[in-house]
C-alpha cells in the first residue's frame, strides 16, 4: 500500500496601501485618520505613522489585521486620533516581509478663509477675493455681477504654504458701474462646499453663507425606521442666515411635507424626514438655500442602492495604548452601495441604545468596495462586561443585517452572538459555524479511525509472517 501526500505553498504577497479620511468636516477637537492595507501574505505587518511636518516624531496608532474570506491573504487597518489643528498631513507606512509601503494621508477638509476687499484705483474699483489656509489644493473661483456670470477677471494658481494653500482673484470694475450700486459676488467652491462673499457700494458689510447637506442619520434609521436628512446653512450674520430660504427636492421634484426648521445664532437647519417605505424609492436628494440678491446654493446627494453581497467584520486593536479604545467595523461589498451604520452597547440580555460612530466614505478596493466605521470608547468602559455591536443596514435592502458583536468578556448569555476580543472576525452564519465545526471534527475522527485500523492490519500481517 502506497500513500501520496500533497502539500501547498503560499508565496509572499506585497500589500496595497490606501488612505482613509473622513467624508465630512465633522466637529470636536480631534480627527480620526486611517490607512488600509490589502492582499498581503504573510500576516506579519507593522504600521507606523509620522507627521509630514516632523518625520522624526512617531504618532501613537491602533492596528487591526485579519484574514480575508476565501483567500490566503490578509487585510490590515491602522487608525490615529490627532488634534484637529494638526490633522492636515500625515504619512502611514507599512513594514512587511514582501515589501514596505507608505502613503500620504491628508485631512481633506481644511476650509478656506475667504475675504473680499474693495479698493479705489483711479477710474477703477478693484475687488480682491482672497482665499487662504485651505487644503486640498483644488479650488474654483467664479464672479457674478447682479447674479450674472462675468469672465474678465484675473485668478492666481494656489500657492502652497506649509500644509495649506492660498489663492487670489482680482476683478476690476469701472467707477460708473460701482456707483450704480451693482452687487458683485465672489463664489469659492472647495471640497464640495461653497463660500460666498459680496461687495457693493450699497452694502455696509460683506456676508458669506455655507450650505451642508448631511446624509441620513444611521441612528434614526435603526430606531425609527426612517431617513432624517439635514440641510445646514451657516454664516457670520445671523440676520441674513435667518432670512435664508431652504427648499428640498427629491428626484428633481420639490418637497414641502415632513420638513422642520430651527435657528441657532449663526446657523439655520432644515430637517427632512422620509419614512422607510418612501425613502427606499429615492435616487437623489437636493437642498437649495436662497435669499434676496443671492444666487441659489444647491447641494445634492445620490443614493447608491447596489445589490451586491455584503460581509461585515468587527475588529479590535491588537494592543491598547492610552485611555481610549477604537473599534472598527468593516463592510465589504462587490458593488458600490450606501450603508447606514450605527453602534450599540449592551449588557446581559439588554439590547442597548444606538449610537453614531465615525463613518468614512466607500473605498474602492481590488475586489469591490469597503466602508469603515470607527467607534471610540474609554479604556475603562472596554474593561467592563459590555457587548459592543456594529449594526449595518444596506441602502438597497428592506431589512438590516444581523448585528456583529465584540467584547472583552466571554460570559454572555447563550443567545448572544458575541465575538471575543482578538478573535473578532464574524463573517459566518450560525449554521456555517456549526457545519464548519462538525466538518473539522468529522475529519479528525475519520483520520483517527483510519490510522488505528491501518496499524492493526499491519501488526496482523507481521504476526502471520
* Residue-wise DSSP of 416-430: --EEETTS----S-H
Specify the pLDDT at position 318.
Answer: 73
Given phi > 0 = left and psi -120 to 50 = alpha, else beta, which region is 459?
A: alpha
Domain at 157, CATH number: 2.60.40.10
pTM over 0.75: no
Residue 207 lies in a domain: no
Task: Say if residue 118 is in the same domain as residue 99.
Answer: no
Specify the pLDDT at position 430.
Answer: 32
Task: Say if residue 8 is in the same domain as residue 75.
Answer: yes
Task: Say if residue 316 is in the same domain as residue 372.
Answer: yes
Specify the pLDDT at position 165.
Answer: 85
By CB atoms closer than 10 A (0-12, 13-18, 19+), residue 16 is middle
Specify the pLDDT at position 247.
Answer: 96
* Least confident interval from 258-272, 373-387, 410-424: 410-424
Task: Say if residue 217 is in the same domain as residue 269.
Answer: yes
Task: Say if residue 170 is in the same domain as residue 236.
Answer: no
Residue 420 lies in a domain: yes
pLDDT of residue 125 exceeding 80, the answer is yes
Residue 250 lies in a domain: yes
Q: How many angstroms separate the CA atoms of 25 and 211, rounded?
A: 13
Q: How confident is the model at residue 252 (pLDDT cuts 50, 70, 90)?
A: very high
Residue 446 lies in a domain: yes
Residue with the larger pLDDT of the pair 68 and 351: 68
Q: Pairing state of beta strands 267-275 and 387-394?
A: unpaired
* Least confident interval from 72-76, 293-297, 394-398: 293-297
Residue 70 lies in a domain: yes
Task: Say if residue 440 is in the same domain as residue 387.
Answer: no
Task: Say if residue 78 is in the same domain as residue 94.
Answer: yes
Smallest CA-to-CA distance from 362 within 343, 341, 328, 336 is with 336
Task: Say if residue 180 is in the same domain as residue 285.
Answer: no
pLDDT of residue 378 exceeding 80, the answer is yes
Task: Say if residue 186 is in the same domain as residue 298.
Answer: no
pLDDT of residue 414 exceeding 60, the answer is no
Q: Pairing state of beta strands 267-275 and 284-290?
A: unpaired
Domain-terminating residue out of 67, 88, 106: 106
Task: Say if residue 240 is in the same domain as residue 157.
Answer: no
Portion of the chain with pLDDT greater than 90, in percent: 39
Task: Say if residue 335 is in the same domain as residue 245.
Answer: no
Specify the pLDDT at position 70.
Answer: 62
Which structural domain, as residue segments, surrounds residue 445?
Answer: 429-465
Digit-coded pLDDT (tens) for 281-335: 999 999 999 877 666 888 999 999 888 888 999 988 777 777 888 899 999 998 8
pLDDT of residue 101 exceeding 90, the answer is yes
Residue 203 lies in a domain: no
Mean pLDDT value of segment 363-370: 84
- The angle at the Cα of 124, spanning 121 to 127, to the nearest 5 degrees, equals 85
- Count of beta carbons in the 10 Å neighbourhood of residue 80: 21
Domain-terminating residue out of 190, 225, 255: 190
Domain-terminating residue out of 190, 223, 246: 190
- Count of beta carbons in the 10 Å neighbourhood of residue 320: 16
Task: Say if residue 47 is in the same domain as residue 94.
Answer: yes
The answer to whether 194 touches 208, Cβ cutoff 8 Å, is no
* Least confident interval from 62-76, 119-133, 415-429: 415-429
What are the angstrom distances between the C-alpha of 15 and each of 58, 211, 212, 222?
A: 22, 39, 36, 36
The answer to whether 40 touches 46, Cβ cutoff 8 Å, is no
What are the angstrom distances between the C-alpha of 27 and each of 22, 24, 109, 192, 407?
A: 11, 9, 11, 17, 28
Residue 152 lies in a domain: yes
Residue with the larger pLDDT of the pair 334 and 111: 334
Q: From edge to edge, which strands make up the β-sheet containing 253-255?
A: 253-255, 245-250, 284-290, 297-302
Q: How many angstroms separate the CA atoms of 348 and 410, rounded?
A: 11
Q: How many angstroms separate the CA atoms of 394 and 205, rounded?
A: 47
Mean pLDDT value of segment 397-422: 66
Alpha helices in 301-429 (DSSP H): 379-382
pLDDT of residue 150 exceeding 70, the answer is yes
Residue 198 lies in a domain: no
Q: Tell me how many domains the chain contains.
A: 5
Mean pLDDT value of segment 366-372: 86
Q: How confident is the model at residue 230 (pLDDT cuts 50, 70, 90)?
A: very high
Smallest CA-to-CA distance from 392 within 461, 311, 334, 320 is with 311
Amino acid at each position: 500500500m502506497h500513500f501520496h501526500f500533497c502539500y501547498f505553498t503560499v508565496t509572499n504577497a506585497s500589500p496595497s496601501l490606501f488612505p482613509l479620511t473622513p467624508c465630512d468636516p465633522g466637529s470636536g477637537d480631534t480627527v480620526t485618520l486611517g490607512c488600509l492595507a490589502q492582499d498581503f501574505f504573510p500576516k506579519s505587518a507593522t504600521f507606523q505613522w509620522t507627521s509630514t511636518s516632523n518625520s522624526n516624531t512617531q504618532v501613537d496608532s491602533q492596528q487591526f489585521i485579519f484574514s480575508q474570506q476565501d483567500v490566503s491573504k490578509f487585510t490590515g487597518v491602522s487608525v490615529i486620533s490627532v488634534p484637529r489643528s494638526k490633522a492636515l498631513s500625515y504619512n502611514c507606512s507599512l513594514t512587511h516581509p514582501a515589501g514596505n509601503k507608505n502613503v500620504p494621508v491628508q485631512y481633506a477638509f481644511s476650509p478656506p478663509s475667504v475675504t473680499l476687499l474693495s479698493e479705489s484705483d483711479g477710474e477703477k474699483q478693484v475687488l480682491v477675493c482672497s482665499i487662504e489656509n485651505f487644503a486640498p489644493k483644488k479650488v474654483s473661483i467664479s464672479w457674478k455681477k447682479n447674479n450674472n456670470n462675468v469672465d474678465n477677471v484675473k485668478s492666481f494658481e494656489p500657492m502652497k504654504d506649509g500644509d495649506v494653500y492660498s489663492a487670489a482673484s482680482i476683478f476690476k470694475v469701472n467707477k460708473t458701474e460701482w456707483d450704480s450700486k451693482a452687487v458683485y459676488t465672489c463664489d469659492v467652491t472647495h471640497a464640495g462646499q461653497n463660500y460666498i462673499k459680496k461687495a457693493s457700494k450699497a452694502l455696509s458689510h460683506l456676508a458669506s453663507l455655507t450650505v451642508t447637506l448631511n446624509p441620513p442619520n444611521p441612528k434614526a434609521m435603526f430606531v425609527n425606521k426612517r431617513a432624517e436628512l439635514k440641510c445646514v446653512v451657516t454664516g457670520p450674520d445671523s440676520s441674513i442666515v435667518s432670512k435664508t430660504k431652504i427648499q428640498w427636492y427629491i428626484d428633481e421634484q420639490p418637497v414641502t411635507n415632513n420638513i422642520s426648521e430651527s435657528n441657532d445664532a449663526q446657523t439655520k437647519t432644515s430637517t427632512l424626514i422620509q419614512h422607510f417605505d418612501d425613502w427606499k424609492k429615492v435616487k437623489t436628494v437636493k437642498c437649495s438655500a436662497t435669499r434676496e440678491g443671492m444666487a441659489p446654493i444647491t447641494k445634492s446627494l445620490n443614493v447608491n442602492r447596489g445589490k451586491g453581497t455584503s460581509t461585515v467584520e468587527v475588529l479590535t486593536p491588537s494592543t491598547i495604548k492610552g485611555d481610549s479604545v477604537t473599534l472598527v467595523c468593516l463592510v465589504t461589498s462587490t458593488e458600490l452601495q450606501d450603508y447606514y451604520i450605527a453602534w450599540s452597547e449592551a449588557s446581559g440580555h439588554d439590547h442597548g441604545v444606538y449610537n453614531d460612530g465615525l463613518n468614512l466614505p466607500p473605498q474602492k478596493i481590488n475586489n469591490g468596495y469597503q466602508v469603515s466605521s470607527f467607534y471610540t470608547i474609554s479604556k475603562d468602559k472596554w474593561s467592563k462586561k459590555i457587548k459592543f455591536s456594529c449594526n449595518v443596514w444596506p441602502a438597497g435592502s428592506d431589512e438590516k443585517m444581523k448585528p456583529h458583536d465584540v467584547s472583552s468578556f466571554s460570559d454572555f448569555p447563550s443567545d448572544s452572538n458575541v465575538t471575543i476580543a482578538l478573535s473578532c472576525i464574524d463573517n459566518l452564519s450560525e449554521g456555517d459555524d456549526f457545519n464548519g465545526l462538525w466538518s473539522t471534527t468529522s475529519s479528525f475522527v475519520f483520520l483517527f479511525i483510519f490510522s488505528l485500523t491501518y496499524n492493526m492490519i499491519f501488526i496482523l500481517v507481521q504476526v502471520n509472517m
